[in-house]
Structure 1
Amino acid sequence: MYDHGLSILEQYGLESTAVYRTRGAIICETEEGRVLIREFCGTPRKLENQAVLLSEIAGKCQVFVDELLPNQEGAYISVDRENTAYIVKRWFEGRECDARYEGDVCTGAAALASLHKVMKMPVQSHYVRESLIREYQRHNAELRKIRKFVSVKKKKNDFELRFLDSIRCFLGHAEAALYRLEHSGYEQLRTWALEQGSICHGEYNQHNVWILSDKEHVAVTNFDKWGFDVQAADLYQFMRKILEKHDWNLKLGQKLLESYEAVRPLSEAEKEYLALRFSYPEKYWKLANYYYTHNKAWISEKNLEKLKKLMAQYEKWQNFSGKMLL
């Protein structure tokens, strides 16, 4: 990929003066600025819509984004001699948001709010996210299926034993969260969001937030999973990942919310939505689902440690989800 990806620059009329490797891509210094090259495996139609979205953001928001660059023929996908597809994006000089530091993550929350104010387009049905009600119904059915699978196993490993010890409690929370969601204002909120053409980043985490070298600007990258949905979904995903690392610190959670709302205040319906999402044991479902869909004959020590951590954090998670948005 290193050599072949670099040759793609010819199709953009660019020449690299320095090249760096990064995760799954290469970064090049050019006379037009820093760019990133990586292989592309998505659909051209969604990529073209993504290019329009990023162009709109760049024209309306102080947060920088990794705009897609068209080649000399006006296409966003370039193919090398071996028929491998690549895309080229504007890139930045800076560092990833550090999840350990309050200042960085609060900056990330504020940047997300700025993006949400301008991330709107006419709805296209193929990019509308699944209803959260249907998602939770599916996840809960999967948890029950995994419980049944583990229960009938004659010989159980440490992970499976701990899973059976914890599933009743966590599944109870999952079912309660679904019931509350079904009887909340979620459907009206989702309908309103789609009428507004509200777009989510889809994978908003610290790895996709960059504190730029001038220390005054922020860049957000990797919009590949964008879609139409309730925008508070992005805020939930960002906060959950940060707070898991900070042992569900209530004060930090409040500061993240304050940083977001200083730019884009949340409606009461969005606050209810966030509270419901935090009450759902998503990380537990992810871990159980990973176990069920992978090699069950060998359970990594890492996954066992993750389950132990979830169980150890149970009370703090419950305290957070109960108090965060009161």
Structure 2
Amino acid sequence: MYDRGLSVLEQYGLETGAVYRGRGALICETGGELVLIREFWGTPRKLEYQAKLLEKVADASPILTDQILCNKEGSYISIDGENIPYIVKKWYEGRECDTRSEEDICKGALVLASLHKVMCMPVESHYVKESLCSEFQRHNRELRKIRKFVCGKRKKNRFEQEFLDTVCCFLGHGEEAVKRLEASDYKELRQAELERGAVCHGEFNQHNVLFSEGEVKAVTNFDKWNFDIQVGDLYRFMRKILEKHQWDLELGKKILTAYHQVRPLSRGEMENLRIRFAYPEKYWKLANYYYTHNKAWISEKNVEKLEKLKDQQEKWRNFVESIFVA
């Protein structure tokens, strides 16, 4: 199983050297460079758009990306002897962004801002992200559905008891976020972003920012790219970092300042960012995971996550209400 997928390198005229395991993929030395090989589960059409996006970034920015390689037949997808589709991408040696390092974090924000300045393409409607209003409303409906389900259980485990103790408060925050969003200029902001063809990375986090010699060397894994308001990327990056730092207000300001230095945020974008932070996304994810997985056995880790969210609630709300004050 270790060399599964290596055979497709013949279709690229590449010779196999040393092989390493990556995240769900193989990394192979070939011709003095690195390539990543992994199974492909998406659609050829979106992959072609992704390849064009990465080519544009390569032409307009010094930031390296994991560009998708064509095989000798000119295709981005290669089929091995077992009829399994693979893609091969350029890869780079480097360490992931250290979430304990403010310097790394701020450099990651700088690079994201630089990418956003060049990431735009003619809009393809199939890849426009669901509107934030629709997403928030759907998540709120799901929380109400889960609450009803848990209330109906005769015997409740520890996770379910903790959920019932907290759901009204967190759902209230979710409903308030919807009201704020509907009262904002979100629709106009989103329309303006779509008109200019703004593209989001879709999964910009510490794992996808590679460093070498103290500087960002490459940004990888654009598979979840989409057309949307680009502050969505900034929100996702900041949320994951700030959860690890107990919603440190000063760190949040430093990240925003770093991004703003390269790509200044408008008042509308700042308001949209604030509303995104005001929605209890991590709480919804945890509840949704519980509802869609085996309920007969609840991981102690998930109980700990729920308790952590409860403990961090005051710091989270203070962050939301304080950092975006003019």
Using the size of structure 2 for normalisation, the TM-score is: 0.98
Look up the match of 2:98: 98
Deviations 1:268-287 (A, max 9, x none): 10000001011111101111
Look up the match of 2:16: 16
C-alpha separation in 1, matches of 2:314 and 2:100: 22
CA gap 1:217/1:100 in 2 versus in 1, 3 angstroms: closer
Unaligned runs of 5+ in 1: none
Look up the match of 2:257: 258
Deviation at 1:31, TM superposition (A): 1.1
Query: Would you identify which runs of 4 or more consecutive aligned residues in structure 1 move more than 4 Å?
Result: none
Letter of the 1:48 counterpart: E
What is the root-mean-square deviation of aligned Cα atoms in Å? Answer: 1.0
Deviation at 1:99, TM superposition (A): 1.1
Larger mean Cα displacement after TM superposition, 14-23 or 247-256: 14-23
2:177 is aligned with 1:177: yes
Look up the match of 1:247: 246
C-alpha separation in 1, matches of 2:216 and 2:143: 43
C-alpha separation in 1, matches of 2:315 and 2:62: 36
Deviation at 1:17, TM superposition (A): 2.3
Deviation at 1:215, TM superposition (A): 3.3
The correspondence of residues 126-205 of structure 1 with structure 2, limited to 5 A, is 126-205=126-205
Deviation at 1:296, TM superposition (A): 1.2
Q: Secondary structure at the match of 2:42?
A: coil
Larger mean Cα displacement after TM superposition, 23-32 or 103-112: 23-32
The correspondence of residues 31-70 of structure 1 with structure 2, limited to 5 A, is 31=31, 33-70=33-70
Look up the match of 2:295: 296
Deviation at 1:217, TM superposition (A): 3.9
Q: Is the 8 A contact 1:111 1:218 kept in 2?
A: no
C-alpha separation in 1, matches of 2:2 and 2:41: 17
Deviations 1:113-137 (A, max 9, x none): 0110000000000000000000011
Letter of the 2:91 counterpart: W
Deviation at 1:107, TM superposition (A): 1.0
C-alpha separation in 2, matches of 1:66 and 1:37: 11
Deviations 1:164-212 (A, max 9, x none): 1111111111000001101101000000010010000111110111112
Amino-acid identity (%): 66
Deviation at 1:38, TM superposition (A): 0.7
Deviation at 1:32, TM superposition (A): 5.3
Larger mean Cα displacement after TM superposition, 215-224 or 287-296: 215-224
Q: Secondary structure at the match of 1:3?
A: coil
Larger mean Cα displacement after TM superposition, 305-314 or 104-113: 104-113
Look up the match of 1:122: 122
C-alpha separation in 1, matches of 2:215 and 2:23: 25
Letter of the 1:197 counterpart: G
Q: Is the 8 A contact 2:108 2:216 kept in 1?
A: no
Letter of the 2:199 counterpart: I
Letter of the 2:271 counterpart: E
Q: Is the 8 A contact 1:119 1:199 kept in 2?
A: yes
Q: Secondary structure at the match of 1:313?
A: helix
Look up the match of 2:307: 308
Look up the match of 2:279: 280
Look up the match of 1:319: 318
Deviation at 1:103, TM superposition (A): 1.1
Letter of the 2:7 counterpart: S
Letter of the 1:297 counterpart: A
CA gap 1:217/1:105 in 2 versus in 1, 3 angstroms: closer
C-alpha separation in 2, matches of 1:217 and 1:50: 21
Q: Secondary structure at the match of 1:177?
A: helix
C-alpha separation in 1, matches of 2:117 and 2:133: 25
C-alpha separation in 1, matches of 2:109 and 2:71: 33
Deviation at 1:221, TM superposition (A): 0.5
Letter of the 1:103 counterpart: E
Deviations 1:256-276 (A, max 9, x none): 101111111101100000010
C-alpha separation in 1, matches of 2:274 and 2:62: 29
Q: Is the 8 A contact 1:4 1:80 kept in 2?
A: no
Q: Secondary structure at the match of 1:57?
A: helix
Q: Secondary structure at the match of 1:2?
A: coil
C-alpha separation in 2, matches of 1:273 and 1:152: 36
Letter of the 1:247 counterpart: Q
Look up the match of 1:27: 27
C-alpha separation in 1, matches of 2:196 and 2:121: 8
Using the size of structure 1 for normalisation, the TM-score is: 0.98
C-alpha separation in 1, matches of 2:319 and 2:254: 13
Q: Is the 8 A contact 2:113 2:263 kept in 1?
A: yes
